[in-house]
Each structure stands twice: as structure tokens, then as C-alpha cells.
Amino acid sequence: MFKESYSIIGVMSGTSLDGIDLAHINFTIKEDKWRYEILENETISYSENWLNKLKIALGFSGKELIELNEDYTQLLGSIVKSFIDKHQIKNIDAVCSHGHTILHQPQNGFTLQIGNLPKIAQIIQERVVCDFRVQDVKLGGQGAPLVPMGDRILFSEYDYCLNLGGFSNVSFEDNSKRIAFDISPVNTVLNFYSNKLGLNYDDKGKIARSGKVNADLLIELNALEYYKKQFPKSLGFEFVKEVVLPLIEKHSISIEDKMHTFTEHIALQTSLALPNKTGKILITGGGAYNAFLIERMQFHLPKIEIIIPDNKTLEFKEALIFALLGVLKLRNEVNVLSSVTGAKMDHSSGVIFVL
């Protein structure tokens, strides 16, 4: 007999490198309806040393990646342990962690999220559920996005769920199937140019707003092959490093104009990605704070009601959903949908490490 309530720590580190999100969540299930409450929560910023490592890790050798994985698992484990101790959280059912994506090449049957080594359970001294993407890729799927299962279970009142993180991804129901895919890069590009100005990010999109659209660049961005692909499809930082940034850098224009043009590109691709331009859309992730981006989305989607939730849900939605995916794994229930990833079948993904 399964439990009706779970005390879970959800852990997420995204490609935008904002930091490690930790959230203590209480889940309850009654009459097949899941409910959640986000309790203690915190985002731990990366040190400058770790930021630099993670930014260049895409070019690491196999030996360097093994060492990085060991070191990051130690870092992540110690951060989670400190979070639990600081908030005196007791009787935890599991820590459910995404890890941090370094390589994502589903077309080559490969994806790597560091921080998912077995020793993490010993460091934290709790049961750990992690490494959610690898099994899906082995089953022929994209290994992403995984959040849509949580969207279906926890946020079914919205027509669309859109996350604006390092990349944007959307999920929605279509003929009783959950459809989801990555739309475009977002903060991986905008933060890159903010960093060049000595800033971690563009506060409310003010820098981008001060620039102007470069028509030639916008046309080239919108013509990228990825946008012609049918779902399921997903993006990794490789796409930004090898395709997007070289394209932008060919244009001798100001950083402000580059950011303004890319913001317009994000908004336009979002509008093109939604099959029905009416209804309600829930927007979460760091990009939801970018007022200029949200304005441009509203301009391209005038009949859509944009809803930005409370701060806890906005900032910790991915940690929340990976916590739920971990609970579903503990229950041996489906937590990855083949309609989303393109895998051979729905399945219960992730590995469980016990003390």
C-alpha cells in the first residue's frame, strides 16, 4: 500500500547557472489527486571557480569529466546536507535531484548530468533519487523535457506551461496526449551578453529594451534549422556554443542590439510554437522576471492570458517537479511520457541510491 504523503527535498541546477535550487516539499495524494506545499526553500549561488568550471566543461576530456563529476557530487551532496541541517528537516522520504547537465546529445544516444554518483546518498545520509534522463535516451527518447509530467499532474488548469530558463520549454495537452519540447535558448544567450557587460543577468530586460532590432540578425536566427524540426526535440548548450553565438557574433552591432534582437527572437519563436493562440499560459523560470521579454511575448500573443505565479512556484517549479518525478519513481509509476520525449514507451525513470 502506497503512502498518502511524502516529505521530499527537490534539487535542481539549470543551464542558466543561476545556482542550485533546493526546496522542501510536502506532497499528498487523495483520490488520485496530487497536491503540494513548498516549505523551506533556498537558491545557493555557485562560487566564481565553479561557475568558470561549468561554463567550460563542454570542452573537457573524458578524464576531466570523470573528475568533475566526482567533485560536483561532493559539492552537491554537501550543499543538500547543509540545507537539511540548517532547516532541521526530519523524516525525509527522499532527496530527488536532477544534477547539472554538461552534455546533452540524444541524437548520439548520450546525455550527462553530473552530481548523480552513488556516493551522494552517503554524503547526504538520505535516500536519493536522481539521474532521470539517461534511461529515456537509452529508450530512444530525447531525455527532455521531463517537466511536462509534473505540468500534467500539478498544473492541469493551464492551457500551456512555459518555463523560461537557460532554454524555454512548453508543454500542453493535445488529443489527450501531453506534448512538450524545447522552443529556443533564453538565458544561456541573454546571460552570456550580460556577463560581457560585467553583470550576472539583465535586470527586468532593461539592457535589451535599450537596444533595437537588427532585422538581418533576426531573420537569420528565425531561419535556424532547429525551428523547422517537428517535436519531440530538445536543446543543449552545444547548440548555443556551436550555432547561436557564432551566428550572433558575425554581426558587428552593440551588445544592447544583440540582446534586444534575441529577446524579440525568443518572443516570436514562443508565439510560433503554440498551436492555439488563446487560453491561459503559466510562465515560470528566471525569464519570467524579464519584463521586456514578457511584454514582447504578450505583443505576439495578444489573445493569451499570461499568468506568473507566486514567487515560490515561479522560482522552484523545476525543483518541485523533479521532487514529484522522484516520488513517482519510488512508487514505480510512470514519470516520463513517450509522447513528450519520443522514447519507445512511457516509463519510470531515475535511479535510487540508499544508504
**Domain containing residue 174: CATH number:** 3.30.420.40
Average pLDDT over residues 264-289: 97
Give the integer Cα–Cα distance in Å for 138 and 102.
17
The answer on pLDDT for 199 being more than 80 is yes
For residue 212, pLDDT over 70 is answered with yes
CB distance 280 to 304 below 8 Å: yes
Whether residues 295 and 167 fall in one domain: yes
CA-CA distance, 161 to 189, in Å (whole number)? 22
Residues 324, 223 share a domain: no
Provide mean pLDDT across the span 290-319: 97
Give the C-alpha separation, 133 to 143, whole Å.
Answer: 5
When pLDDT is cut at 50, 70 and 90, the band that residue 145 belongs to is confident
Q: What are the backbone angles phi and psi of residue 266, rounded to the nearest 5°?
A: -60, -50
Could you tell me if 205 and 272 lie in one domain?
yes
Please check whether residues 154 and 185 belong to one and the same domain.
Answer: yes
Angle at 305 between CA 302 and CA 310, to 5 degrees: 140
The rounded percent of the chain whose pLDDT value lies above 70 is 100
Predicted pLDDT of residue 2: 83
The helix (H) or strand (E) run that includes residue 194 is: helix 187-196
8-state DSSP, 244: I
Q: Are residues 182 and 205 in the same domain?
A: yes
Regarding whether 201 and 127 lie in a shared domain, the answer is no
Q: Decide if pLDDT at 1 tops 80.
A: no
Whether 152 shows a pLDDT value over 80: the answer reads yes
pLDDT tier, 190 (very low <50, low <70, confident <90, very high otherwise): very high
| Count of domains for the chain | 2
Q: Are 267 and 170 within one domain?
A: yes
Query: Are 172 and 265 within one domain?
Result: yes
| Banded model confidence at residue 101, pLDDT cuts 50, 70, 90 | very high
- Average pLDDT of span 293-317: 97
Q: What number is the average pLDDT over the span 162-176? A: 94
The grid coordinates listed for 219 are: 531573420
Q: What is the mean pLDDT of residues 178-185?
A: 95
Cβ neighbours of 311 (radius 10 Å):
12
Q: What is the mean pLDDT of residues 283-302?
A: 97
Cα-based distances in Å from 352 to 84, 131, 189:
19, 9, 34
pLDDT reading at 217 higher than 80: yes
pLDDT at 355: 85
Residues 131 and 171 in one domain: no
Provide the mean pLDDT of the chain.
96
Parent domain of 196 = 148-312
Q: Are residues 18 and 156 in the same domain?
A: no
β-partners of residue 207 are none
Shared domain for 47 and 133, answered yes or no, is: yes
Confidence of residue 72 (pLDDT cuts 50, 70, 90): very high
* Domain identity same for 323 and 304: no
Region 17-41: mean pLDDT is 96
